[in-house]
Amino acid sequence: MRAGLGCGVLVAYACLAGVAAAHHSLAAEFDTRKLIHLEGVVSRIDWSNPHIYVSVDVKEPGGKVATWRLECVPTAMARKAGITKTQLFGEGGTVQVEAYPARDGTPQLGYLARISYPDGHHFQFGPADTLASAGK
Partner 1 sequence: MRSLASLGVLLVVCGAVLAADKPVPRLADGHPDLNGTWDNGSGIDFVHPEKSADGSVCVAGCPPAPAASAQQTSSKTPAAPPPPRTSPQPDLPKYKPEFLGKVHELDKNQVRTDPVLRCKSPGLPRIGPPDKIVQTRNQVVFLYDDVSGAFWRIIPTDGRPHRTDVDDSYLGDSVGHWEGDTLVIEANHFNDDSWLTDNGAFHSTELRVTERLHRIGDTIDYEAVVEDPKVLQEPWHPKHRLLKLTDMELAEPAPCIDQDLKHLVDDSHHANPR
* Contacting positions for partner 1 (CB under 8 A): 12, 15-25, 27-29, 46-53, 71, 73-83, 102-104, 106, 109, 113, 119-129
Nearest CB to partner 1, comparing residues 60 and 104: 104
Query: CB neighbours (10 Å) of residue 39?
Result: 17
Query: CB neighbours (10 Å) of residue 6?
Result: 16
CA separation, residue 107 to residues 68, 69, 110 (Å): 8, 9, 9
Nearest distance from residue 58's CB to partner 1, in Å? Answer: 19
Nearest CB to partner 1, comparing residues 3 and 70: 70
Nearest CB to partner 1, comparing residues 87 and 94: 87
Distance, in Å, from the CA atom of 93 to the CA atom of 98, rounded to the nearest integer, reads 17
Nearest CB to partner 1, comparing residues 23 and 64: 23
Distance, in Å, from the CA atom of 11 to the CA atom of 22, rounded to the nearest integer, reads 22
Nearest distance from residue 63's CB to partner 1, in Å? Answer: 28
Nearest distance from residue 124's CB to partner 1, in Å? Answer: 4
Amino acid in position 72: C
